[in-house]
């Protein structure tokens, strides 16, 4: 089952299944920062209104806007 990054809660872990953003340059930038298919990450923080979402991926923290988080299809890892 795929969900979006925005649907995840603090402490949840997931694996990226797909990145669907309309801006090709922004997609390339996300890929260059390590957000590739299959990358494992943990949700570290979510701002009170849900924007931004901070994740820990490949050893570094990355904050994403809600609109960008909606474009990421995730496989949630159950622990």
Q: Which domain holds residue 54?
A: 3-75
Domain count, the chain: 1
Kind of pairing between the strands at 40-46 and 53-57:
antiparallel
55: nearest Cα among 7, 12, 3: 12
Q: How confident is the model at residue 45 (pLDDT cuts 50, 70, 90)?
A: very high
Q: How confident is the model at residue 71 (pLDDT cuts 50, 70, 90)?
A: confident
| 78 secondary structure, DSSP code | P
Write out pLDDT tens, residues 1-33.
Answer: 689 888 899 999 999 999 888 888 888 888 888
**What is the Cβ-side half-sphere exposure of residue 32, based on CA atoms within 13 angstroms?**
6
Distance CA 37, CA 64 (A): 17
Tell me the mean pLDDT in the region 25-44. 90
Q: What is the CATH number of the domain that holds 44?
A: 2.30.30.90
The predicted model scores a pTM of 0.84
Element holding 1 (H helix, E strand): none
Local structure of 55: helix, strand or coil: strand
């Amino acid at each position: 089952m795929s969900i979006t990054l925005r649907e995840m809660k603090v402490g949840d872990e997931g694996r990226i299944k797909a990145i669907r953003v309309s801006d090709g340059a922004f997609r390339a930038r996300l890929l260059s920062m390590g957000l590739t298919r299959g990358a494992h990450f943990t949700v570290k923080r979510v701002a009170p209104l849900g924007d931004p979402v901070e994740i820990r991926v490949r050893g570094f923290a990355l904050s994403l806007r809600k609109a960008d988080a909606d474009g990421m299809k995730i496989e949630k890892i159950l622990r």
